[in-house]
Amino acid sequence: MESGVPICNICGEQVGLANNNGEVFVACHECNYPVCKTCIDYEIKEGRNTCLRCATPYDENEQESTNHAIVASHPDTAQDAGVHARTVSFVSTVDSEYHDDTGNPIWKNRVESWKEKKNKKKKNQSKAVVQEAAEVPPEQQMEEKPQLADAAEPLSRIIPVPKSQITPYRIVIIVRLIVLCFFFHYRVTHPVESAYPLWFTSVFCEIWFAFSWVLDQFPKWSPINRETYLDRLSARYEREGEPCQLAPVDFFVSTVDPMKEPPLITANTVLSILAVDYPVEKVSCYVSDDGGSMLTFESLAETSEFARKWVPFCKKFSIEPRAPEFYFTQKFDYLKDKVQPSFVKERRAMKREYEEYKVRVNALVAKAQKTPEDGWTMADGTPWPGNNPRDHPGMIQVFLGHSGVHDIEGNELPRLVYVSREKRPGYQHHKKAGAENALIRVSAVLTNAPYILNLDCDHYVNNSKAIREAMCFLMDPQVGRDVCYVQFPQRFDGIDKSDRYANRNIVFFDVNMKGLDGIQGPVYVGTGTVFNRQALYGYSPSNLPTIHKSSSSFSCCCRRKKPAKEKDLTEVYREAKREDLNSAIFNLREIENYDDHERSLLISQMSFEKTFGMSSVFIESTLMENGGVPDSANPSTLIREAIHVIGCGYEEKTAWGKEVKIESLFWFHIWKEGANTFLFVCPFQIGWIYGSVTEDILTGFKMQCRGWRSIYCMPLRPAFKGSAPINLSDRLHQVLRWALGSVEIFLSRHCPLWYGFGGGRLKWLQRLAYTNTIVYPFTSLPLIAYCILPAVCLLTGKFIIPTLSNVASILFLGLFLSIIVTSVLELRWSGIGIEDWWRNEQFWVIGGVSAHLFAVFQGFLKMLAGIDTNFTVTTKAADDGEFADLYLFKWTTVLIPPTTILIVNLVGVVAGFSDALNKGYEAWGPLFGKVFFSFWVILHLYPFLKGLMGRQNRTPTIVVLWSVLLASVFSLVWVKINPFVSKDDPSAMVQNCIDMDC
């Protein structure tokens, strides 16, 4: 609240005064949730007659005395200090021991001075608001009510999949599950006696595939679509003649090495952000240069100068997309829908400006190819602080801002900030996750927007209204209260039309993510995500589920304690610590919006500093739910404070990126049953999670375990677009990195199989989805075995299935048909094409027998022996022309397993036909099933074979040699030991006698 009269949480207007006593209107006397009378009337008219926060009926509130309204008209000091209504997911049991020289608590003095400043400001604002409300004529107030009712309409709606599509889909899933049960009953009860190991291997693989199918299929049970109303968003928060009420947004762009991530690509991302269709005073762009490169710094300086011309051009003519490189290279009629006579002339002039800008940036890149012996120097002759990328101080430069350089038309530009965090030897910097957490702290000190959007440096804003799309969820009081982030699908440029290696991931983004949106929300995929800053701070949503007596919602672990009457020294120590908290400044008993359980929790200075770090400005910013720089912050010292929070030692002994093990920071919940007492402990963390290659999945998982949900937003025009590796080797190494992160999560204590069961906040279908994201690499082991089985069957003359009966034939046919029908119905409700689905199936096999296998191998090596294996990629050949990278071959060991499988199956097909020719007509029938099985493998690996040969259809000799060697060794070993033939087989005994000349 910025004044004595609260702000309505639905329409954003002043709550106003009550009609009976002239005091501030109170809608709910139980929790004092601020809602104006107009919105209450509209809610009751729509059939929602309970409080949005505590669910207390409004009828009961009308019978309460007016004492509550009097209390509400005098907000307590703790609420004035900025303590928000979010549930704090921790409490400290450590007393405050920091004092100044006179013995007074430093924290108390600092906060008291802050309160005095805000109280003086609020008294003046309260008087002005009351006078203004009294001066408004009743007629004008009556005219405003319909407008408020229209503005109170929802900003989005859920569009469920039609029942004609989803009901048959669910029925087929259940039928397929039943058929699977009968199928496995038949497979287990009908072993192949003549090739028992072969049969057992196939059954084990089929059971694992069924388990993987369940993990992947059932989270798609309730897919949904969403529709947003941008006009309602503008009507509610951008009223004519009033200040814009849209929430500010901080954009994060991360880059490391400008030689691998070209500065021109990063610059296009930044330009698309600066030109976004959003109020300029609400946009701030932070670029993290984790390599401390002077090239990135100078390219941003050039970009900020070019932005003065590019931003007004985009907004004047509504350009899409607003990344100049991709706008000027797209093939379309740029005169379409452009009726301004000056557009053609200005577009040509802007294209010339961009070409000159590219020349300047490319000149910087060419200059940076050779580093001077004495290191780089800046324009004023001083050495560049980041000459040593592993040992340099923190650097911050504000290029653009509200009080900085304006565009060529004299308008303000969004803020553009260059950030390079401090690097020192001996410190763990945690790569991208550490850089993102540093940006959280810097942005909180400088701008502190309540929402954060993070983008990779190669993902630009393709839809200038994307932020408004996200605000339709985050700023909707009905929807956004428990939303931790809004995830947009990833779309890519520069991919071949056939999408040979499934780079677009259409099945994942258009099928799986829609299914998750109907449960608890999509997983976080690392980019194109708008976060609620409070969720990143470790807070829990305001509408937490009810705490059941039998299961604490905050329990991550539970340990048995002694009976309550027999208190040990540990319990006495804890009680003493709790008593010391009576002197804490932030006492939750003073906040009316908290319930009795939350009021019993106290926050002290040490809990804040051990959680967030030693920065008073940053700590104050975390308490401001609606964002904004604290009034107590001195603008002249903000840059110095921002440098402090990106220091390499700032995160030591804090909760950043990891779960704190300090007992004083746990949230204790004690449950007594009889003579026994159980203590539940909930650790927590802040920001992006450390310790995993896929920090994105783990970060989103931890948020949803705390009770948050996420939203999947798919506007008609893709919100963001990026680039993806399109050649075979780079694509496999990208998949290898993702799979390795999943294996690391599986082998950690954050594994969804056993983490976070205590509170019941993660729905079981959502847990199945997260389990699928971390166990899928292990499918590579049975998949490789299953892909080799056809060759073994052809070489041995045996098969994994005995002679089929009529019942068995019906089971196999039913299973085959259910698989086809499930896929067809999935394509129907998702809207994806059959080609995209088939490419996904092919690359599932290609990645499973190559990258996923190496990820499992590397993950266990890292866990058991501490060995971090790196698989190098070396370029062997290159071509020119369109999609040249598609035919670029890079040698890597990941290519050996699928090549070996291809050769073994081809050899098996030749051997099978040779054997059938020798045995006659009777052998052709069994040969058909074996050859079909083998061709299934070859058909799935066909894109891999095309990538292996390249444009010239030539496979590197080293790949052929390794694969032939492995195939030969496998064949010789089989001939020697013949493992899949039963020892009781008479033909085998005769063959053995012949071999021994008996």
Same domain (yes/no): 707, 814:
no
Stretch among 511-515, 547-551, 743-747 having the lowest mean pLDDT = 547-551
Helix%, strand%, coil% for the chain, nearest 5: 50, 10, 40
Among the residue ranges 332-336, 546-550, 826-830, the one predicted with the least confidence is 546-550
Q: Which residue has the higher pLDDT, 425 or 997?
A: 425
pLDDT over threshold 80, residue 713:
yes
Q: What pTM was estimated for this model as a whole?
A: 0.75
DSSP-based three-state secondary structure for 747 = coil
434 & 335 share domain: yes
- 603 is a domain residue: no
Q: Are residues 769 and 823 in the same domain?
A: no
What SS3 state is found at 438? helix
Task: Give yes or no for residue 715 having a pLDDT over 90.
Answer: yes
| pLDDT for residue 117 is more than 70 | no
pLDDT at 516 over 90: yes
The DSSP letter of residue 25 is: P
Q: Are 18 and 24 in contact (CB under 8 A)?
A: yes
- If asked whether residues 772 and 862 sit together in one domain, one would say no
Higher per-residue confidence, 845 vs 692: 845
Neighbours of 960 (CB within 10 A): 13
Does residue 582 sit within a domain? no
Is 562 or 650 the better-scoring residue by pLDDT?
A: 650
**Residue 761 lies inside a defined structural domain of this protein:** yes
pLDDT(319) > 80: yes
Question: Which three-class secondary structure state does DSSP give residue 36?
Answer: coil
Burial of 723-742, coded b for 16+ CB within 10 Å and e otherwise, reads bbbbbbbbbbbbbbebbbbb
Q: What is the DSSP letter of 555?
A: -
Partner residues linked to 327 by β-bridges: none
99 pairs with which residues across the strands?
Answer: 105
Give the Å distances, CA to CA, from 699 to 89, 773, 775.
Answer: 16, 13, 17
Contact between 492 and 482 under an 8 Å Cβ cutoff? The reply is no
Is the pLDDT higher at 896 or at 118? 896
Binding positions for UDP-alpha-D-glucose? 254, 260-261, 290, 431
Look at residue 205 and tell me if it is in a domain. yes
How would you classify the pairing of strands 283-289 and 491-493? Answer: unpaired
**Poorest-pLDDT segment among 373-377, 432-436, 604-608, 625-629:** 604-608
What SS3 state is found at 375?
A: coil
724, 749, 776 - which closes a domain: 776
pLDDT at 110: 47
Residue 641 in tokens: 């404070």
Q: Is 888 within a domain? A: yes
pLDDT digits (tens, 9 = 90+) for 786-804: 999 888 888 887 888 877 6
pLDDT beyond 60 at 82: no
Highest mean pLDDT: which of 272-286, 684-698, 893-907?
Answer: 272-286
**Statement to judge: residues 173 and 311 lie in one domain:** no
> Where is 602: in which H helix or E strand?
strand 602-603
Residue ending a domain, choose from 713, 745, 776: 776
Do the domain assignments include residue 153? no
**Statement: residue 947 has pLDDT above 70:** yes
Would you state the structure tokens that stand for residue 956, as one six-digit string? 């590197």
According to DSSP, the residues that pair with 289 across neighbouring strands are 255
Read off the pLDDT of residues 654-672 as tens digits, 9 standing for 90 and up.
Answer: 888 775 332 333 333 333 3
The pLDDT value recorded for residue 617 is 85
Name the DSSP letter for residue 510: I
Determine contact, residues 397/417, Cβ cutoff 8 Å.
Answer: yes
Q: Would you say residue 997 lies in a domain?
A: no
Which residue from 421, 466, 806, 958 is spatially nearest to 645, judged by alpha carbons? 421
Locate all alpha helices (DSSP H) within 162-195, ordered by sequence.
163-189
State whether 770 and 811 are in the same domain: no
In a 13 Å sphere around the CA of 101, the CA atoms on its Cβ side amount to 0
Give the whole-angstrom CA distance, residue 838 versus residue 507: 10
Return the pLDDT at 362: 92
Reported as a pLDDT band with limits 50, 70 and 90, residue 960 is low
pLDDT tens-place string over residues 537-587: 888 787 664 434 333 333 333 333 344 444 444 444 344 333 333 323 333
Neighbours of 246 (CB within 10 A): 18
Out of 709-723, 829-843, 866-880, 930-944, which region has the weakest mean confidence (pLDDT)? Answer: 866-880
C-alpha closest to that of 488 among 270, 262, 692, 228:
228
**Average pLDDT for residues 72-81, to the nearest whole number?**
33
pLDDT tens track for 268-312: 999 999 999 999 999 999 999 988 889 999 999 999 999 999 999
Q: Which of 147-161, 609-623, 894-908 has the lowest mean pLDDT?
A: 147-161
In the DSSP assignment, the letter for residue 331 is -
DSSP state of 849: T
* Mean pLDDT across 763-779: 91
Q: Both 772 and 786 in a single domain?
A: no
> Residue 478, exposed/middle/buried by CB under 10 A (0-12, 13-18, 19+)?
middle
- Looking at residue 811, its amino acid is L
Would you state the pLDDT for residue 584? 30
Q: Which residue has the tokens 């699908």?
A: 489
Range of weakest confidence among 480-489, 516-525, 850-859, 862-871: 862-871
Are residues 711 and 792 located together in one domain of the fold? no
The residue whose two tokens read 């009021």 is 599
pLDDT at site 876? 39
Report the DSSP pairing between strands 283-289 and 249-255.
parallel
Domain count, the chain: 4
Give the per-residue pLDDT at 61: 43
Gap between the Cα atoms of 284 and 250, Å rounded: 5
- CATH number where 12 lies: 3.30.40
pLDDT of residue 177: 93
> Which of 60, 75, 100 is at the close of a domain?
60
pLDDT score at 352: 93
Between helix 138-151 and helix 230-237 the angle, nearest 10°, is 150
What value, to the nearest 5°, has the Cα angle with vertex 697 and ends 495 and 534? Answer: 115
Give the residue numbers of the binding site for Mn(2+). Answer: 432, 456
C-alpha distances in angstroms, 402 versus 59, 305, 417, 440, 618? 48, 15, 12, 20, 21
- Check whether residue 319 and residue 451 sit in a common domain: yes
Query: 977-997: buried (b, 16+ CB within 10 Å) or exposed (e) per residue?
Result: eeebbeeeeeeeeeeeeeeee
Tokens of 182: 């009968």
pLDDT at 782 > cutoff 90: yes
Domain match, 187 and 290 both:
no
Residue 504's closest CA among 890, 948, 832, 939? 832
* Catalytic annotation, residues: 290, 696
What is the span of the domain harbouring residue 451?
Answer: 249-494+531-537
974, pLDDT greater than 70: no
Cβ neighbours for 167, distance < 8 A, ≥ 6 positions apart = none
Say whether both 317 and 450 belong to one domain: yes
User: Which residues neighbour 689 within 8 Å (Cβ) at sequence distance 6 or greater?
Assistant: 433, 657, 658, 695, 698, 699, 702, 750
Q: Which helix (H) or strand (E) holds 472?
A: helix 466-474
Cβ of 236: how many Cβ atoms within 10 Å? 24
Average pLDDT, the chain: 75
Q: Does position 409 have pLDDT exceeding 80, yes or no?
A: yes
- 692-705 mean pLDDT: 86
Helix (H) or strand (E) holding 396: strand 395-400
Secondary structure in 3-state letters for 59-72: HHHHCCCCHHHHHH
Residue whose entry in the numeric block shows the structure tokens 């509408």: 543
Q: Which two tokens stand for residue 738?
A: 């993702």
How long, in residues, is the chain? 998
Q: Is residue 861 pLDDT above 90, yes or no?
A: no
**pLDDT score recorded for residue 499:** 83
- Is 240 inside a domain boundary? no
pLDDT at 523 exceeding the cut of 90: yes
Q: Three-state SS for 977?
A: helix
Average pLDDT over residues 399-423: 85
Q: 455 has which bridge partners?
A: 253
Predicted confidence at residue 754, as pLDDT, reads 83
State the DSSP code for 176: H
Q: Using pLDDT thresholds of 50, 70 and 90, give the confidence band for residue 25.
A: confident
Residue 772 shares a structural domain with residue 822: no
Share of the chain above pLDDT 90, in %: 27
The residue behind tokens 């292990």 is: 778
Q: What is the pLDDT of residue 892?
A: 78
Mean pLDDT confidence for 28-47: 74
